[in-house]
Structure 1
C-alpha cells in the first residue's frame, strides 16, 4: 500500500487536514530510514501520534499557561535555562517536542538529514513548518526519546505499554492509545478502522468486537507478514495556522503530560 493522508483520516475518524499531510510528508522523507515502512511498526507509530495530537487536530501545545506548564520554567533536564524557555520551547509537532535541549537535538538530527534544516533552537516555531513537523516524531521515535534508541524493537515485540512509557513518561491514556493502535493496525491491514469483528472472523477468532490479547497478537502477526508500506510524497505547506486555543482543552492536554515533561 502507499500511505496517504486519507489513511490517517480513516485512523483518526476525522477529515483529512494539513497535520495529517505533514505526517505523511515526514514519512516520505525519512520513514524508510527509520524502519517505519514495516507495517507493524508503523501501526504503533501512528497510533501514538493520533493519540498525542488528539486525532491530528493539534500540532502544538495550547498554552494557558497551566500550573503544569509553568513548571517547565527552569527545567534544567529539558535545557530550559533562560527566562521564558518554558513557553518558547513548548510542545510542538504531533509528538510534542518539548524543551530547549530537545529542540537543539532535533535541529542537529534534521541538519544531518537535510542541510537546509532550520536551527530550531533559534527559531522554535519552524518546527511547525513542513517537512520538519512530520520529521519531529520520526526523530523522537528513532533517537530523541529518553533511551536515545529506536522504539522499533518495542514495536517488534508489540509492547504498547513500554512504547507509551518512552513517549509519555508514564502510561497516561493507555485505553485510548490501544484503541488508536487497533484502528491504525486495521487500516494498514486493509480493513475499515472499526472492522474488529470482520478481522476476528477472518482470523478464526471469536468475533466479539473486543480487541483483547488474542486479537492484538493476531493483528500484530498479520502486519508482520505484510509487504512494506510505501510512502507518498506530498506537497508540503510552508507555514501552518496555529491550533485553536481553549482553556478546557489546555487543561485536558496537560493531563496527558508526564511529570517529567513528556519528552525529556
Structure 2
C-alpha cells in the first residue's frame, strides 16, 4: 500500500482531482512501488509533483488535441519514433498517461519494459489507448521514472534536473515547485499553504518563498519522516544553491585586466617571458604608473640601504682594528 494517501493528494492539489486517474496511479504504486524504490516519502513527493503538473492534478490522462502547430509537426517527428510521412501517427502516438508518454519510440520502449518484467502487457504500439487502462496507466509513469533513474535525483531533492528530464526543459517549473511544496507540507502535517509556518518553525526567513533553502529544509524534513539516519540524511540532503550576483561582462573583463597587470610588469622587468612594452597596451595608465614607480623606487631604495649598511659595517671594523 502506498505510504502517500489519496486524501493527502487531494489536499495538496490546486483544484479538483479526477478520482479515476489518481486511483490508477495509486493502484500501480500499491502493486509495484516497492520494486522500484517508491517506498520513500521524499521520492513520492518529487514523483507526484511532476505527475500533478503534467496531468493538471490528474484531470487529464491524454494529451488535449487541437491540433496545435506543434502537434501538427508530431507526424514527422522521427526523433519521437514517428514516421517521416504525414500518415496520422502523430495523433495516434500523442501523450497518454499521467506523465504524457508521447511518440512511437517511447510507447514501444514502455511495452518492451513491461514485457521484459513478465507483466504480459497489451499491444500499446498498435493501440496506444490501452496505456490508459489499469494497471498500465500508472505503470507508464513508473516506467518513465525508473528508466531515467530519477530516484537518484529525488534523493538529492533536485527538482530542477528532474523537471528537465521529464519535460526536456523548464516549462512549468514554478507550478512543479508549488506542487512539491504543497505536498511536502501536507505529508509533514501542515496545511498546503502553510509555508510561512514551516519557515518560522525551522529558523528560515519568513517570506513565503519556496527558494533553495526552504526546499532543502523541506527535503531534510521528509528524509527525517522517512526514518533516514541523520548521517545518511546529510548525504542525501539537497545542496543549497545560492543565487550569485551577475557581474556585467565588461566589468569582469576590466577587473581581470587590471589584476593581471602586476604579473605582466614582473615579466617585463624580469625579462623571463620575452614580453615587450606592447604587452601592457590597453591597461589603465594610472595603475601602470603606480606599479612602474614602485618597481623603480624599490630597487633604488634597496641600493641606498645597502650602501649605508656596508658603510656602517666598515666603520665598526675599523674601530675594532684600531
TM-score, shorter chain, exceeding 0.5: yes
Matched, 1:62 2:64: yes
Aligned to 1:126: 130
Contact 2:51 2:98 in 1 (8 A): yes
Instruction: Name whichever of 195-204 and 159-168 sits farther off.
Output: 195-204
Q: Could you state the TM-score of these two structures normalised by the residue count of structure 2?
A: 0.66
Q: Tell me which of the two structures has the higher relative contact order, counting C-alpha pairs closer than 8 angstroms and 6 or more residues apart.
A: 1
Contact 2:3 2:41 in 1 (8 A): no
Please list every run of 5 or more consecutive structure 2 residues that lacks an aligned counterpart in the other structure: 228-322
Give, in whole Å, the separation in 2 of the partners of 1:11 and 1:135: 22
Contact 1:78 1:100 in 2 (8 A): yes
Give, in whole Å, the separation in 2 of the partners of 1:138 and 1:12: 20
Give, in whole Å, the separation in 2 of the partners of 1:208 and 1:164: 24
* Equivalent position SS for 1:71: helix
Counterpart pick for 2:119 among 115, 120, 125: 115
Q: Could you state the TM-score of these two structures normalised by the residue count of structure 1?
A: 0.79
Aligned to 1:104: 108
Aligned to 1:190: 189
Q: CA deviation at 1:153?
A: 1.5
Matched, 1:158 2:157: yes
Aligned to 2:219: 220
Q: Please list, as runs of the form range in 1=range in 2, the aligned pairs for 1:65-76 lying within 5 A after superposition.
A: 65-76=67-78
User: Between Structure 1 and Structure 2, which shows a larger proportion of helix residues?
Assistant: 2
- Cα deviation 1:95-117 (Å, max 9, x = unaligned): 10001111111111123345332
Aligned to 1:255: none
Q: CA deviation at 1:201?
A: 2.3
Counterpart pick for 2:143 among 120, 123, 139: 139
Greater gyration radius: 2
Give, in whole Å, the separation in 1 of the partners of 2:106 and 2:213: 38
User: Relative to 1, partners in 2 of residues 1:114 and 1:8: Cα closer, same or farther, differing over 3 Å?
Assistant: farther
Please list every run of 5 or more consecutive structure 1 residues that lacks an aligned counterpart in the other structure: 144-148, 229-264
Contact 1:9 1:20 in 2 (8 A): no
- Cα deviation 1:153-173 (Å, max 9, x = unaligned): 211222111111111111111
Q: CA deviation at 1:51?
A: 0.6
Aligned to 1:169: 168
* Equivalent position SS for 1:225: helix
Q: CA deviation at 1:93?
A: 0.6
Contact 1:23 1:135 in 2 (8 A): yes
Give, in whole Å, the separation in 2 of the partners of 1:22 and 1:14: 18
- Cα deviation 1:136-169 (Å, max 9, x = unaligned): 11100110xxxxx311121122211111111111
Instruction: Name whichever of 204-213 and 194-203 sits farther off.
Output: 204-213
Aligned to 1:24: 26
Give, in whole Å, the separation in 2 of the partners of 1:152 and 1:138: 11
What do you get for the CA RMSD once the two structures are aligned? 1.7
Contact 2:49 2:183 in 1 (8 A): yes
Length, aligned pairs only: 223
Contact 1:97 1:136 in 2 (8 A): yes
Give, in whole Å, the separation in 2 of the partners of 1:204 and 1:175: 24
Aligned to 1:5: 6
Divergent runs of 4+, >4 A: none
